């Protein structure tokens, strides 16, 4: 197949670009952008709500695609990602008036290539997968020189080629903007990808000092990566549409923006960062504090603002660890978290109660149990009374091809906020 984009494909892309721009300029979109600024700066009047689509987008995007050239088809899909939430679900996900593009940057822990084996279903690759461990016994791994300095870099040439292609297609409609999402560091996840969770825990027990040495190297290597980004002037503002894992936006006036960036180079202290440690739920809070937290504290101290957590419950490690992160602005309250306890801890604080509702209501049952969902949301709103609250629905891997169910799901959360929310 030729990789030359056909004329009709370019017109198709331009049609979608115009659609994105229309949504971006809409009064509703502008209103919600203002609400995001107020929310992240702790001045909001209501909880923000959004539904992450990427985990079930295979039910939504492919059937909309018309382009056949691989580059055009990939761009077509991304254009849809930029505005489909607004079109289909009417949540608080907002639409940018530009086409965002990130640098092709990379970080390889200990210079070890991650090896993964995917499960097959009906002859196709499925979500199931297994990471093939490259490290096993820390003592032997150190003796054999397997734990090397981490490698990292950025491919500016590849990034520029992408930018030029997109500009050629739609640049006169949507400007292409190189942006940096939050600085994203998940050391224990990267470690499990090359060691396995079982071996991570065995090594913590068998070689405690070597394990601490390894975690210290991870922190130092990460900071070396950040220094490289600073030297190359690749630290960019994170105060608007940039992504902040897991599942939120960067909008804030509490960090320097484009006006300051035009005057001086940025450091990591000027931007958002994100960290989580889902892989350590099987160890005690005391072990987390001793073996994991020093690395996390060293890395997270580099950020201007921090969002912490994903699916792990943070309440067991809140008092002695996470609460001590001075730049913390958002903390994930997952389905496995003690909601009431965290509500007590965050009430009146400068940390947003970032609730991740259970995905079961939307993603498991074909018919939405509205009464059960309402009670689930009410429980959160009561527990989080007096907190700044945000809802991000994550980890839904199917909506059973039922767009009405997903839209109704957002409507119910909004209704419960309207009826129950007490700031």
Tokens read off for 390 = 């945000």
Query: Closest Cα partner for 184 from 286, 80, 274, 292?
Result: 274
User: φ and ψ at 151, to 5 degrees?
Assistant: -110, 155
pLDDT of 13 reads: 98
Total Cβ atoms within 10 A of residue 6: 13
Number of Cα atoms under 13 Å in the Cβ half of residue 132: 8
pLDDT of 128 reads: 82
Task: Provide the β-strand partners of residue 48.
Answer: 390
Is residue 52 within 8 A of residue 247, CB to CB? The reply is yes
| Tokens 């008036």 -> residue | 97
Q: Which residues contact 354 (CB under 8 A, 6 or more apart)?
A: 248, 307, 309, 330, 331, 332, 333, 390, 392
Residue 400 — left, alpha, or beta (φ > 0 → left; ψ -120 to 50 → alpha)? left
| CA separation for the pair 287, 293 (Å, rounded) | 9
pLDDT of 2 reads: 59
Report pLDDT digits (tens) over 264-318: 999 999 999 999 999 999 999 999 999 999 999 999 999 999 999 999 999 999 9
When pLDDT is averaged across residues 368-380 and rounded to a whole number, the result is 98
Report pLDDT digits (tens) over 55-101: 999 999 999 999 999 999 999 999 999 999 999 999 999 999 999 99
Rg of the Cα atoms in the chain = 22
DSSP state of 291: I
| CA separation for the pair 114, 396 (Å, rounded) | 26
When pLDDT is averaged across residues 200-220 and rounded to a whole number, the result is 98
| CA separation for the pair 395, 358 (Å, rounded) | 9
Residue 119 pLDDT exceeds 90: no
Query: Closest Cα partner for 235 from 180, 299, 186, 301?
Result: 180
């Amino acid at each position: 197949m030729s990789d030359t984009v056909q004329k009709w494909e370019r017109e198709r892309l331009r049609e979608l670009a115009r659609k994105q721009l229309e949504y971006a300029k809409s009064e509703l979109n502008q209103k919600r952008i203002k609400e995001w600024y107020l929310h992240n700066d702790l001045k909001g009047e209501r909880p923000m709500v959004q539904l992450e689509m990427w985990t079930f987008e295979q039910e939504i995007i492919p059937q909309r695609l018309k382009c056949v050239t691989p580059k055009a088809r990939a761009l077509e899909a991304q254009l849809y990602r930029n505005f489909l939430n607004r079109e289909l679900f009417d949540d608080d996900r907002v639409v940018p008036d530009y086409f965002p593009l990130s640098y092709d940057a990379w970080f390889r822990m200990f210079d070890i290539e991650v090896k993964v084996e995917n499960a097959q279903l009906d002859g196709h690759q499925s979500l199931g997968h297994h990471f093939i461990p490259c490290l096993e016994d820390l003592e032997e791994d150190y003796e054999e020189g397997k734990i090397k300095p981490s490698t990292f870099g950025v491919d500016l040439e590849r990034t520029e080629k992408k930018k030029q292609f997109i500009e050629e297609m739609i640049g006169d409609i949507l400007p292409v903007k190189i942006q940096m999402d939050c600085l994203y560091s998940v050391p224990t996840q990267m470690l499990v990808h090359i060691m396995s969770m079982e071996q991570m825990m065995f090594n913590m027990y068998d070689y405690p000092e070597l394990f601490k040495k390894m975690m210290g190297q991870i922190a130092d290597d990460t900071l070396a990566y950040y220094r490289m980004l600073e030297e190359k002037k690749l630290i960019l503002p994170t105060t608007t549409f940039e992504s902040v894992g897991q599942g939120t936006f960067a909008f804030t006036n509490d960090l320097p923006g484009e006006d300051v960036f035009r005057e001086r180079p940025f450091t990591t202290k000027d931007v958002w960062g994100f960290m989580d440690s889902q892989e350590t739920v099987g160890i005690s809070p005391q072990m987390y504090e001793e073996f994991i937290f020093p690395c996390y504290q060293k890395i997270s101290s580099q950020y201007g603002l921090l969002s912490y957590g994903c699916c792990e419950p943070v309440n067991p490690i809140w008092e002695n660890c996470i609460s001590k992160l001075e730049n913390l602005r958002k903390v994930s309250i997952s389905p496995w978290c003690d909601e009431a306890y965290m509500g007590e801890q965050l009430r009146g604080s400068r940390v947003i109660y970032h609730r991740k509702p259970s995905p079961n209501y939307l993603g498991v049952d074909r018919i939405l149990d509205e009464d059960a969902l309402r009670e689930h949301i009410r429980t959160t709103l009561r527990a989080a009374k007096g907190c700044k609250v945000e809802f991000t629905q994550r980890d839904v891997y199917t909506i059973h091809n039922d767009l009405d169910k997903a839209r109704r799901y957002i409507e119910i959360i909004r209704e419960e906020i309207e009826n129950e929310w007490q700031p």
